[in-house]
Amino acid sequence: MTSEHSQPTNPVVSQSSIQDTPDGRIPVGRTMPDEQPMLSVQNLKKVYHTDGGDIEAVRNLTFDLPKGQLACLVGPSGSGKTTLLKCISGLMAPSAGEVTLHGQKVTGPPKSMAVVFQEYGRSLFPWLRVAENVELPLKNQGMEKAARKEAVEQALEAVGLAHVPKSYPWQLSGGMQQRVAIARAVAYQPEVLLMDEPFAAVDAQTRADLEDLVRGIWKKLGVSVLFVTHDIDESVYLGERVIILSSSPTIIQEDVLVDLPAERDQLETRSSQRFAELRHHVYEQIQLAKKGFRPEEAAAMR
Amino acid sequence: MTYIRTSLHIVALPLILIFIWFLATLGEASFFVPTPQLLIETFFETWTSERFLSDVFPSLGRLMIGIALSILIGIVGGLLIGSFRWLRALLEPTLEFFRAIPPPVLIPVIMLLIGIGDEMKVSVIVLGAVWPILLNTIEGVRSMDEVLADTSRTYGMNRVNTVRYLILPSAMPQIMAGIRQSLSIALILMVISEMFASTEGLGFAIVQFQRSFAIPEMWSGIVLLGLIGVVLSFIFQLAERWILGWYHGLREIEQSA
């Protein structure tokens, strides 16, 4: 019996680890000491200085993203998700703490990182055609023309847009535009893919398709993905791990491992019991966060 | 069918105006207002002969050089001033001052400084026509979409590519609006610059006709100026449709949504 337990046959997180951590609960601000993390956020803090006084958007965030992981960052609205992402992507300097990629401090947008923004309509170049949009970062890198052409074709193929390379982005639907943005990121071959609420502005059915697309691409390319969302279902469905943020000033409320099967299916997975449990747990935490529950205060009370 | 209708729309008002003009000059014609027939006759007589080479050609040449220089200086200057905040803070008040000076009053000064040749005339055109392009380019660069700028940064776009693929196209709608204004200013200044100490050019010819009481010839010169303006604006529209095709398409979709 015991030997069966120690050697689980399916890729699901083993029984024993679930027993060890009821509700999949692991220490807040999980870091991964075993292996060199891909991306590491250490004591990140961001304070905006305004005329009306200082606004503390992010208080103290620490977490690691190991190579090849798909982690979702979920938090109540106004929890500084976008601020955090801007700091990680090097678009904004943190007030304190640091972000490191492969042990190197991020001071500007790193080469091996690609970002997919929520506002697809504003992140694609309206004066360039679909294929040109995907091609531009490669051209900028000095990739050979033939190699570029192939990479663009493959990327468009991967997102199911091989038939519209000559269209302008604004001629496409919202979901298709976001696919173009994803194709551009894919063609760039990043090691880390940051996605800032990429599907917040598309309709529910398109969103389901895009979620599966992201899972598919992540598996195929083996990139690390940090997926920011405010949608709890989405975070549980997509992620191997859900990092729950508190309300602003942001800290990590909880770091949950998602022990759902690797093969996910919109119908099967979403109706499974484990999905419901995880969703319930994350939802509860977000509700707590909205009410202003703060884990550091709770810990002090204990 | 729609083609015929559009062309009808274009020529309808001119035909009506010419007809009214024809009726008004039917009786005893005024010395100062020629009949349409006489004007058309004079027009071809005056401008198809050697005057085309001696007056129209040099004028158009200076106009084109003036416009080209204005566009070049306006866009390059605008890109620089728009991109650097300190440069903008340093230059903008002074630019407003120079912009406020009507260029014709500078003609005597420029004549003293650089003579009465083509350089003077081109300088006058540029001094007037550069402002709308320069200021619109600055505005266009400044109103850059933040998400698009962030996108370019995350993909590590180098300086040249950032200007070529991000800043320039994104400012292009405003730049084109500036160029449109500049065209008419350039035409006006072309004429005015030729009215001072000149020996050839359209403006010179018209003034000369006027002073020698060659009234139909004078009118025909004015008509020619009008036609040049129309042709310029037509060329501009073609260029704009080609350069800003994406912009008009985008706007159409935004408005229908």
**A225-275 confidence digits (pLDDT tens):** 999 998 999 999 999 999 998 887 888 888 999 989 888 888 889 999 999
Put simply, whether B112 touches A (Cβ < 8 Å) is no
Residue from the list A91, A128, A136 with its beta carbon closest to the beta carbon of B154: A91
Least Cα distance to A260 among A239, A244, A243 occurs for A239
Q: Which single residue is written with the structure tokens 């991964």?
A: A32
A176 to chain B: which residues are within 8 Å by CB?
none
Query: Where is average pLDDT lowest: B21-30, B127-136, B235-244?
Result: B21-30
Query: Where is average pLDDT lowest: A82-91, A271-280, B28-37?
Result: B28-37
Spatial contact of A225 and A218, defined as CB atoms under 8 Å apart? yes
Residue A160: its pLDDT value, please?
92
Q: How far is the C-alpha of B164 from the C-alpha of B161, rounded, in Å?
A: 5
B174 to chain A: which residues are within 8 Å by CB?
none
Residue B8: its pLDDT value, please?
87
Domains located in chain A, CATH noted: 21-112+190-301 (3.40.50.300)
Furthest CA-CA distance within chain A: 66
DSSP state of B163: I
Put simply, whether B147 touches A (Cβ < 8 Å) is yes
For residue B191, the one-letter residue type is V
* pTM, two decimal places: 0.84
Backbone angles phi, psi at B233, to 5 degrees: -70, -30
| A33 pLDDT more than 60 | no
Q: How far is the C-alpha of B235 from the C-alpha of B125, rounded, in Å?
A: 19
A168 to chain B: which residues are within 8 Å by CB?
246, 249-250
**A187 band by pLDDT with thresholds 50, 70 and 90:** very high
Size of interface A-B (CB pairs under 8 A): 67
Residue A22: its pLDDT value, please?
42
Put simply, whether B158 touches A (Cβ < 8 Å) is yes
Residue B114: its pLDDT value, please?
87
Cβ–Cβ gap B154/A168 under 8 Å: no
Name the residue with higher pLDDT: A127 or A286: A127
Handedness of CA B201, B205, B211, B212 (dihedral sign): positive
The A-side interface with B (CB below 8 A) comprises 86, 89-91, 108-109, 111, 113-115, 117, 119, 122-123, 125-128, 136-137, 139-141, 168, 170-171, 188
Closest chain A residue to B159, measured at CA = A140
**A286 band by pLDDT with thresholds 50, 70 and 90:** confident
Residue from the list B155, B169, B170 with its beta carbon closest to the beta carbon of A140: B155
Record the tokens describing residue A204, joined without a space: 């529910």
**A101-117 confidence digits (pLDDT tens):** 988 899 999 999 999 99
Taking residues B169-184, what's their average pLDDT? 96
Query: Where is average pLDDT lowest: A22-31, B41-50, B107-116?
Result: A22-31
Least Cα distance to B77 among B131, B24, B151 occurs for B131
Cβ–Cβ gap A109/B161 under 8 Å: no
Query: Where is average pLDDT lowest: A1-5, A40-44, A123-127?
Result: A1-5
Domains located in chain B, CATH noted: 36-256 (1.10.3720.10)
* Rg for chain B, CA atoms, rounded: 23
